[in-house]
Amino acid sequence: MEEIILRTNDLTKKYNNKTVVDCLSLEIKRGEIFGLLGPNGAGKSTTMNMICSIVKPSAGKVELFGKELRTNKKEVIRRIGYIPQELAIHGSLKAWENAELFISLYGIKGDKLKKAVNDSLEYVGLGDRRQEYAKHFSGGMKRRLNIACAIGHEPELLIFDEPTVGIDPQSRNFILEKIKESNRKGATVIYTSHYMEEVEAICTRIAIMDNGKVIACGTSSELKKMVNGSDDITLEEVFLTLTGKKLRDIEG
Ligand SMILES: Nc1ncnc2c1ncn2[C@@H]1O[C@H](COP(=O)(O)OP(=O)(O)OP(=O)(O)O)[C@@H](O)[C@H]1O
Ligand SMILES: [Mg+2]
């Protein structure tokens, strides 16, 4: 039987009586690269933040690795790597110091920590820039360092919230290749993006989210058939049909 890595049941978040995530029920299986697509304000980051226990749900629950998050937070959180939409690195620390700081938060120490810092910086292609201050890095390098900080404890579930925003195609491709590589090595991935072509290229299944709800979920071919009867349509057209919103409005 396929193992469910993440299950959300009627997950809901309200801010000042406004529902931003609305009774979300998702199931993600081990080995998937699951894409979450949606316009600005759809509730993607809020959903990710509830899954990582950064934001407290107003209602509903999250189960990770078969365990309820709320009552098993400490154990479950160590098995997740979260790459947030907002960069979470410190400019006044060197690249290796950033990696060490974040990886050590997972209780990794000594030689194991040194190796994890080296391996994760190598992994994102920053091995030879380890002594440089993060504030001197380009946008793409900061994004890569952000990833290194979140993967050093070898998480089973990687959650990427728009990791390719504002960076050039070459760096974007590098990050996408790394996500696929992590997945080949066994990690399950949740991936949020506005770039349809990226989502289509790497994701095994895609959920389209709007106004806090998942309005469609399936493989890209299933989504196309749902909208068009055949898969002779682009994912962008599917998105437009379902949400009434154009990609350029989204990328604004
Ligand atoms: N801390 C907060 N307090 C009040 N409202 C919030 C808070 N965090 C998010 N929201 C609101 O919740 C809604 C969903 O925001 P969220 O960041 O989850 O969207 P998103 O789908 O990630 O959008 P984007 O594509 O722009 O990143 C927005 O209307 C946002 O203003
Ligand atoms: Mg977001």
The answer to whether position 98 is within a domain reads no
Tens digits of residue pLDDT in 155-168: 999 999 998 887 88
Give 47 Cα–ligand 1 centroid separation in angstroms: 9
Atom of ligand 1 nearest to the CA of 49: 18
Instruction: Tell me which amino acid residue 106 is.
Output: Y
Strand partners, 217: 207
Total of domains in the chain: 1
Position 238 in a domain: yes
**With contact defined as beta carbons under 8 Å apart, do 20 and 13 qualify?**
yes
Q: Report the pLDDT value the prediction gives residue 85, as an integer from 0 to 100.
A: 87
CA of 35 to the centre of ligand 1 (A): 18
- How far apart, in Å, are the Cα atoms of 122 and each of 11, 117, 176, 193? 37, 9, 16, 25
Structure tokens at 62: 């999250």
Higher-confidence residue: 246 or 29? 29
Residue 215 within a domain: yes
Closest residue by Cα to atom 31, ligand 1, is 41
DSSP state of 133: B
Residue 133 falls inside a structural domain = no
| Residue at 202 is within a domain | yes
Nearest ligand, CA 40: 1
Q: What is the mean pLDDT of residues 180-195?
A: 93
Cα–Cα distance for residue pair 122/194, rounded to 1 Å: 28
Is the residue at 84 inside a domain? no
Q: 216-222 long-range contacts, Cβ below 8 Å, gap at least 24? A: 216/242, 217/26
Under 8 Å between Cβ of 152 and 182 = no
SS3 assignment, position 35 = strand
Which residues are near ligand 1 (CB < 6 Å)? 15, 20, 38, 40-46, 85
Question: Which residues 6+ apart lie within 8 Å of 76 measured at CB?
Answer: 64, 65, 67, 69
204 is written with which tokens? Answer: 């095994």
Confidence of residue 1 (pLDDT cuts 50, 70, 90): low
For 102-121, what is the mean pLDDT? 94
Q: Is residue 118 part of a domain?
A: no
Mean pLDDT, residues 148-155 taken together: 93
Q: What is the pLDDT of residue 252?
A: 37
Q: How far is CA 120 from CA 16, 40, 203, in A?
A: 40, 31, 23
Ligand nearest to the CA of 250: 1
- Rounded CA gap, 167 and 10, in Å? 35
The pocket of ion ligand 2, defined by CB under 5 A, consists of 44-45, 85
Q: What tokens appear for 11 in the block?
A: 């997950």
Range of the domain at 179: 4-79+155-251
Distance from residue 143's CA to the centre of ligand 2 (Å): 15
**Residue 251: predicted pLDDT:** 45
Averaged pLDDT for residues 197-208: 93
What CATH code is carried by the domain that includes residue 50?
3.40.50.300
At 207 the pLDDT is 95
Q: Is residue 103 part of a domain?
A: no
CA distances 216 to 28, 178, 235, 246, Å, are: 15, 27, 12, 17
Q: For residue 37, which of 180, 237, 157, 217 has the smallest C-alpha distance?
A: 217
CA of 19 to the centre of ligand 1 (A): 10
Per residue in 7-35, pLDDT tens? 999 999 999 999 999 999 999 999 999 99
Inform me whether the pLDDT recorded for 97 exceeds 50.
yes
Which residue out of 12, 36, 40, 160 has the highest number of ligand 1 atoms within 8 Å of its CB and is therefore the one to mutate? 40
